[in-house]
Structure 1
Amino acid sequence: MNGMDPELFEQFIEQLERYVRERLIPAEREVIEADRVPDEIVQEMRDMGLFGLTVPEEYGGAGLNTSQYARVVKTMAYAAPAYRSIFSINVGMFNSAIKNGGTEAQKTEWWPRIAAGEIACFGLTEPGSGSDSAAMATTARPDPSGNGWILNGTKRYITNAPHAAVGLIMARTEKEALPKNAHVSAFIVPMDTPGVTVGSPDHKMGQSGSHIADVILEDVHVPGEALLGGETGKGFVFAMKSLDNGRISVGAAATGYARRALDSALRYATERKAFGEPIANFQLIQQMLAESETEIYAAECMMTDVTARADRGENILRKAAAFKVFASEMCGRVVDRVVQIYGGAGYLAEYDAERFFRDARIYRIYEGTTQILQLQIAKHMLRDFAAQA
């Protein structure tokens, strides 16, 4: 994918960096206290085209390639995580699934709406299943009255569910688990469809302003056109392909947020004095700063590589998982060092270090936990080795 003209894209990134520093960061306190991104900022993000970053231009989007999209996410992630969260499901998950598996009619209907700023959610995880699709309980059965499907089940921890206009819902269309998860299909479900109920937003450890909630489906009737790709048994494949982009998004976000935390620690270390001099002069403080800089740089290099591979059309499942694992774990180590550099102040809510620590913890969990992704990486390593033997 060629993406946006490189010179034009660099101009956009410069504008976005100013917007992050001059508009989004000053508004963070309001986001945290109100636990929501102000409506006017969401509208500004719509006007900037952030909800349709990778939607093709002919459908109203910006037409960014994966490398450009990841840079936008990393830039936005320098500010509070809620800002990225509100548009990232649209771009990294919903739009990717439509691109990979949607019919022309589905692209024509949904891409312009997504690009215009309708918020999407992605319904895979359930109370009893996450990565284990064989245990998925949500069902989709043919509507006996004619064309269409009836969905029943509950989805859990669904980001943006309280605000979403549409959801991509995974449901089993076969009772028995089938090879390659062919028992799972994907459905495009407007959230105002009768029978769809969204629970109250869950209270979380961090990431104020970003909301997750249950989605309950009770005899939800959708037309046949709601089946992604018009074919059963492909839903999990589409979901996994879109998860590659979702994992790149999380990795980019973790990398951007680690940079924000490290910049904060640098500022604090040069201002805070002990024994008559800035603590930045102490070698063990410098060690923590240097280790953090080294790890962020490594994550940035991984991001550049995996997104370039995606733009060349390579299978990036293993590389995207590796990037997400490294970047999310790296961010956890960086924010832990930042708290340590702040010392006692790092444990106080009035300082940013405490918030960075709480916000960063989820990066190691969603879009595939570190442990699940390690299993996935190893499985594909062993499969590739066996194929070469």
Structure 2
Amino acid sequence: MPEPLNSVLVHPDCRHYRGDLPCRPNKTDGYVCEGCPVYAPVTQRVLIIKLGAIGDVIRTTPLLRRLRQERPGCFITWLTLTPAILPQGEVDEILKFDYASTLQLQARRFDVAINLDKEKEACALLLNVNATEKFGYTLRPYDGVAWPINELAHHKYLTGVFDQLSLANTKPYVQEIFELCGFDFRGEEYVFDTHDDKNYDWSRLPATGPRIGLNTGCGDRWTTRLWSTPKWIELIQGLQAAGYTPVLLGGEAEDARNRELQQATGAAYLGTFPLPQFINLMNQMDGIVTQVTMGMHISIALRKPTILMNNIFNPHEFDLYGRGQLVQPNRECVCFYRGSCRLGTSCMEELPAEKVLAAVRESVPIQSIA
């Protein structure tokens, strides 16, 4: 609603209004609130708390599509540890999780607050934030335990605290978080920035054959997911013989391995890059081979055919949106959500390179790219 200050009309309810600085329409076009042609009143204010790993933040973005549909005109604030991964322009306010952000969020009022993390700091914030409707996880004040805020959160909560229920679950993660918020999942895609507008120079990329990105790492928490160097070499050589162009992908942790693979096979490797540039590099691929890691979420978000190598996680957790395939070792994994193998040698060594190559052939047929 408009409010006069010393006879000057202001619209603090407008999505452009800042309060501490001139808004963008004032800076670029000289507009003032009175008679402003781009005045956009906010209908509702929504807070999303998803701190988590980069991949978890990426795979939460489909919620943005439904929130915009169900609550037109809403203003979405997102609190996260990784602000750079969120799509600028799709989220109205992106806040990095720190003391200053937490302090001001607790002083505001929201129509809806959603917390998708069980970390105690995230749960405590949902407990204390002023919101008409709350979804997800809160904190039990008397024992400090993460707890579902209502019945909608029971399913997702329980699959996270009992391995038996997690193994029996048949719902993808995105469906679970939609249901946690009271929505049915209708196949909403990720909301993601490809960074094509940066005009990065990829002239060093080979121009022949469909490019298959090989994301060779998986982080240092779940090392049971790692595929050995000889397996990667076998896959690369198989791809090359079949007419594909393998491109090695990874960060600093994968640099030494990727250089070794490049030297052994001649596969393309351009080095490591800042996250936006790495995302755009992945967008130059025709398909991606990856384990369950950040690269997998980026690949899905970029709508690339994704060949997902999985062993220790419930395969139902991942929705590839009908693009690509999930491949698993020929030996059943007995190390559900474990970082070290109970049998000494990870079952990933029982995933043949030929099986991965066959999935690439089916998901990225060469004739469809030519």
Give the TM-score of the pair, scaled to structure 1.
0.24
User: Max radius of gyration: which structure?
Assistant: 2
Structure ranking higher on relative contact order (CA contacts 8 Å, 6+ apart): 1
Identify, as 1 or 2, the structure richer in strand: 2
Higher helix share: 1
